[in-house]
């Protein structure tokens, strides 16, 4: 199978089978008449609980609560819909954010807490948005009516019209997307208090500083804010506010900068003020120096505009000690190479990559993938700043040799020679004999029967020095000159020209196989296979 196809297959396997999280939610709506009354009563009770435990204070409440308690309260804010009330709630309110899920779905289970936390944040911001969830498997009628076709699905209903979700999957990303679609795409700040409150809620954002909210550059800024679905845009004409948000701001007539909660916290936009260039700037800078791969962000990571990606496989404990080293190297390759950390404990994230590379999950392991050409690479030296720096430099400039997985070189000889990735060139391409090669995989249904035929064929031609039989397990071995996507595959590499192997029908009988070898042996006059085989039969 070609390398690029294997990577796609590995990506599909990244769905990890987590046990479903406990979904604690109150049944808020009993019938169509008290839909909103039940929600209001619930929120009022929840506010009373907060005041009792928090002493009436504001911002410190969540710090005093356990994580489980915060999640419990967040889940209570999300309205549970059913076949009876779903249509009325979704279509009769000004704005409804709906999550369609299935209890058995691991992605639903991972998204549910983030969705509930987003509901809490939106409520604390004063949003009148109704946030709801629907068990789409149990309430199939409602799911079909509202347009939920998979799990999980997020839809935003504005005055009854559904809008498909196009944002990220963290609490903040959900909040930003919803606010952009239900309000202004850009938040305008005119006071320090408002700016400080904004910083309380947003860890990543785009700041625009303009002398006046007008002009062609400002128009392009607005267009980018409307188009982008993931990052909050904020604007100001106050230099004091601009410096609070972006301390290193260069006060000119116009300025755009990206702010993140990372070591490289501030990124200045230094290109032409055009919508596509602003969006490109965001795309190349929105990820942290080292992005942790999760099930929910995997699609965004793989589809990133940064096509050169370096993966670090390790445990959280080990990677914490390595993080400063990795970040130092990553700073030198911002916008060129994306650095991604994969937790080895997350078996369904790490194992497909280990299978793709034919490696055991030792730690730490550093690999690289070029999404432009589908080539993969491996850091075979110990991980240190110097080795990682050299690896990334050669990766960026295209001087790294691609990595092809291989089993260990076999020590035992057999009638049908075992070929591995490391011996393919010497055993097949560079050998003086003609080579009859069987390419198989352990999971192939037809491979076992074909292997028995090849074994019999090898026994029939036993003793011929100019012909050998070999087999290679394509699930564990790769070579750039061997790109196979059907198994089993039988190939004859004639001694005269190994560049164009002859494909052999796997449906042939043993008699047909023998005739095939004789035919192509006869065509090679220098070898004399046919003559030797006939003498053998005479004996």
| Rg of the chain in Å (alpha carbons) | 31
The span from the CA of 193 to the CA of 147, in Å, is 42
Query: Which listed residue (70, 444, 484, 492) is catalytic?
Result: 444
CA neighbor of 299 nearest in space, from 169, 147, 163, 111? 169
CB atoms within 10 A of CB 239: 12
414-to-16, 45, 447 alpha-carbon distances in Å:
40, 77, 18
Query: Which uninterrupted H or E stretch holds 154?
Result: strand 153-158
The distance between the two most distant Cα atoms of the chain, rounded to a whole number of Å, is 104
> What phi and psi, each to the nearest 5 degrees, are found at residue 275?
-50, -50
**pLDDT at res. 181:** 87
**pLDDT at res. 340:** 95
Task: Note down pLDDT in tens along the chain; length 539 residues.
Answer: 444 444 433 443 333 322 232 222 322 223 333 333 433 443 343 444 444 444 443 344 444 455 566 566 666 789 899 999 999 999 889 999 999 999 999 889 889 999 999 999 888 888 889 999 999 999 999 999 999 988 899 999 999 999 999 888 888 889 989 988 887 789 999 999 999 999 988 888 999 999 889 899 999 999 999 899 889 999 999 999 999 999 877 777 789 999 987 777 899 999 999 999 999 999 999 888 999 998 878 888 988 999 999 999 999 899 889 999 999 999 999 889 999 999 988 888 888 888 888 887 777 999 999 999 989 999 999 999 999 999 999 999 999 999 999 999 998 889 999 999 999 999 999 999 999 999 999 999 989 999 999 999 999 988 888 899 999 999 999 999 998 888 999 999 998 788 889 998 888 888 888 888 888 765 444 444 444 444 544 44
The 3 state secondary structure assigned to 503-515 is EECCCCCHHHHHH
**pLDDT at res. 487:** 92
Q: How many CA atoms lie within 13 A of 178 on its CB side?
A: 28
444 catalytically annotated: yes
**pLDDT at res. 14:** 36
Query: Which listed residue (78, 89, 105, 154) is catalytic?
Result: 105
pLDDT tens-digit readout, 443-458: 999 899 999 999 999 9
CB atoms within 10 A of CB 240: 10
pLDDT tens-digit readout, 399-420: 999 999 999 999 888 999 999 9
Q: Tokens 């979700």 appear where? A: 165
The length of the chain in residues reads 539
447 catalytically annotated: yes
> What phi and psi, each to the nearest 5 degrees, are found at residue 504?
-110, 135
**pLDDT at res. 463:** 83
Q: Determine contact, residues 50/74, Cβ cutoff 8 Å.
A: no
Q: Determine contact, residues 283/305, Cβ cutoff 8 Å.
A: yes
The span from the CA of 489 to the CA of 503, in Å, is 8
The span from the CA of 336 to the CA of 372, in Å, is 13
**pLDDT at res. 142:** 93
Query: Which listed residue (447, 482, 504, 521) is catalytic?
Result: 447
The span from the CA of 92 to the CA of 174, in Å, is 22
**pLDDT at res. 379:** 95
Range 182-207 burial, b when 16+ CB lie within 10 A, else e: beebbbebeeeeebeebeebbebbbb
**pLDDT at res. 518:** 81
List Cβ neighbours of 359 (8 Å cut-off, separation of 6 or more): 365, 378, 405
């Amino acid at each position: 199978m070609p390398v690029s196809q294997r990577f796609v297959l590995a990506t599909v396997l990244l769905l990890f089978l987590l046990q479903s999280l406990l979904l604690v939610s109150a049944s808020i709506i009993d019938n169509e008449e008290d839909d909103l009354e039940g929600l209001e009563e619930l929120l009022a009770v929840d506010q009373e609980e907060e005041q009792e435990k928090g002493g009436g204070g504001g911002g410190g409440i969540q710090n005093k609560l356990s994580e489980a308690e915060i999640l419990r309260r967040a889940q209570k804010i999300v309205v549970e819909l059913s076949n009876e009330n779903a249509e009325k709630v979704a279509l009769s309110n000004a704005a409804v954010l709906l999550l369609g899920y299935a209890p058995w779905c691991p992605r639903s289970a991972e998204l549910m807490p983030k969705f509930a936390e987003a509901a809490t944040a939106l409520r604390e911001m004063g949003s009148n948005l109704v946030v709801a969830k629907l068990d789409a498997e149990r309430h199939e009628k409602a799911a079909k009516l509202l347009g939920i076709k998979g799990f999980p699905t997020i839809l935003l209903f504005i005055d009854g019209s559904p809008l498909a979700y196009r944002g990220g999957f963290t609490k903040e990303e959900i909040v930003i997307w919803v606010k952009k679609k239900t309000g202004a795409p850009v938040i305008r700040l005119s006071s320090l208090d408002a700016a400080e409150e904004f910083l309380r809620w947003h860890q990543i954002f785009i700041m625009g500083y303009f002398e006046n909210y007008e002009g062609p550059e400002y128009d392009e800024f607005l267009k980018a804010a409307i188009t982008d679905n993931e990052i909050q845009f904020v604007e100001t004409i106050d230099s004091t506010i601009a410096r609070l948000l972006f301390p290193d701001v260069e006060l000119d007539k116009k300025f755009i900068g990206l702010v993140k909660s990372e070591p490289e916290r501030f990124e200045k936009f230094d290109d032409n003020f055009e919508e596509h260039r602003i969006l490109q700037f965001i795309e190349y800078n929105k990820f942290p120096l080292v992005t942790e791969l999760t099930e929910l962000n995997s699609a965004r990571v793989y589809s990133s505009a940064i096509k050169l990606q370096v993966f670090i496989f390790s445990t959280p404990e080990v990677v914490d000690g390595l993080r400063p080293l990795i970040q130092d190297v990553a700073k030198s390759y911002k916008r060129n190479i994306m650095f991604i950390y994969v937790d080895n404990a997350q078996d369904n994230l790490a194992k497909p990559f280990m299978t793709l590379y034919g490696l055991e999950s030792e730690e730490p392991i550093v690999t690289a993938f070029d999404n432009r050409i589908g080539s993969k690479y491996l850091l075979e030296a110990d991980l240190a700043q110097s080795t990682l720096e050299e690896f990334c430099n050669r990766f960026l400039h295209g001087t790294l040799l691609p990595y092809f997985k291989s089993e260990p070189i076999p020590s035992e000889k057999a009638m049908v020679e075992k070929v591995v990735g490391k011996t393919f060139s010497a055993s097949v391409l560079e050998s003086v004999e003609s080579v009859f090669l069987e390419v198989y995989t352990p999971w192939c249904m037809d491979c076992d029967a074909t292997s028995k035929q090849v074994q019999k064929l090898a026994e029939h031609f036993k003793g011929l020095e100019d012909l050998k039989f070999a087999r290679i397990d394509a699930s564990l071995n790769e070579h750039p000159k061997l790109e196979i996507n059907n198994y089993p595959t039988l190939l004859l590499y004639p001694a005269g020209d190994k560049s164009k192997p002859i494909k052999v029908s796997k449906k042939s009988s043993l008699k047909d196989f023998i005739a095939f070898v004789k035919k192509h042996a006869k065509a090679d006059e220098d070898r004399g296979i046919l003559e030797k085989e006939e003498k053998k039969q005479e004996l």
